[in-house]
Amino acid sequence: MGAAYFYHLTRKPMPETLMVLLEKARGAGWAIAVRGQDPDRMTWLDDALWLGSDDSFLAHGLAGGPHDALQPILLTATAQAANDPKCLMSVDGAGVEAEEVQALERVCILFDGNDMQAVQRAREQWKALTGAGCKAQYWSEESGRWEKKAEA
């Protein structure tokens, strides 16, 4: 049974935080699905990951290619991921089901703390997932470094 980790972004942009989390998840040996809601936004994120820092390279692909099942990191705007992920990273308010949290090693939900609609969506997700019995942690970077603020 996995857990949902909520990341309240207030200082660093989502692609930068996502890259750090992706590196950690790959370090654990997990295949990862990055789920968004808008295909155009996922294409933008694909470009942002390719243009990441000079000292790291994250092999990944955008869903819909011929080698989706082989991708260590697959960016998708749907609930299905062909790469058999062990970790799901939800961005831009993409939905996550309790069954997914329980079946995967880790689910990371990244949300923009400067967007009140995104904060409200994250609160709703927290209530739904913890209400369904999922383990969850809430992390904030408000102090300038990541700190765990709540656990359920």
Under the banding of pLDDT at 50, 70 and 90, the label for residue 47 is: confident
* Token pair of 97 as six digits: 């089901």
Higher pLDDT: 134 or 55? It is 134
Report the C-alpha gap between 103 and 96 in whole angstroms.
12
Q: What is the CA radius of gyration of the chain?
A: 14
Amino acid at site 14: M
Q: pLDDT tens for residues 54-81?
A: 566 788 889 998 999 999 999 999 998 9
Residues 6+ apart with CB under 8 A from 145: none
CATH superfamily label, 3-151: DNA polymerase III subunit chi (3.40.50.10110)
Provide, rounded to the nearest whole percent, the portion of the chain with pLDDT above 70.
97
Domain extents for the chain?
3-151
